[in-house]
């Protein structure tokens, strides 16, 4: 299964190709996507993205993960989260969301088993 293309991104809205849902924040992986609900793990802008936010994506057998920190990069990514991915043998990119989506789509287009978590506002 390939990673789905992120078809569009604007402030507060993301669309994933092949999915009718419009997301505010989303998780994507080979073969699927869903809303990234921060309440599930108690995530906030600081300290930011936690390993628990990425477990579901990691379990899908990804080789790379792209983290979108928001349009103004308000969402933090602590070193412990990056370490969690690296310890699982996963390449990680942490970028401003527009750049993150472009990088994710480029990896997906090359057939890389890539996953991601993306914050589409601040």
What are the CA-CA distances from residue 28 to residues 3, 46, 55 (Å)?
7, 22, 12
Helix (H, G, I), strand (E, B) or coil at 122: coil
Q: Which two three-digit tokens encode residue 34?
A: 């869903």
Tens of pLDDT along 28-52? 999 999 999 999 999 999 999 999 9
> Of 120, 91, 122, nearest to 26 (Cα)?
120
pLDDT tens digits along 61-107: 999 999 999 999 999 999 999 999 999 999 999 999 999 999 999 99
Q: What is the C-alpha to C-alpha distance for residues 38 and 4, in angstroms, rounded to an integer?
A: 22
pLDDT at 114: 98
Q: What is the pTM of this model?
A: 0.97
Instruction: State the CATH architecture for 6-118.
Output: 3-Layer(aba) Sandwich (3.40)
At 1, the pLDDT band (50, 70, 90 cuts) reads: confident
Contact 115, 30 (CB under 8 A): yes
Residue keyed to tokens 């309440």: 39
């Amino acid at each position: 299964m390939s990673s789905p293309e992120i078809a569009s991104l604007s402030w507060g809205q993301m669309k994933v190709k092949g999915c009718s849902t419009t997301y505010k924040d989303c998780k994507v992986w080979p073969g699927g996507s869903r809303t990234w609900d921060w309440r599930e793990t108690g995530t906030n802008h600081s300290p930011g993205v936690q390993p628990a936010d990425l477990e579901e994506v990691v379990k899908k057998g990804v080789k790379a993960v792209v983290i979108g920190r928001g349009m103004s990069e308000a969402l933090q990514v602590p070193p412990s989260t990056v370490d969690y991915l690296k310890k699982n043998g996963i390449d990680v990119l942490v970028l401003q969301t527009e750049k993150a989506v472009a990088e994710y789509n480029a990896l997906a287009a090359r057939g890389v088993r890539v996953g991601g978590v993306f914050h589409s506002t601040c």
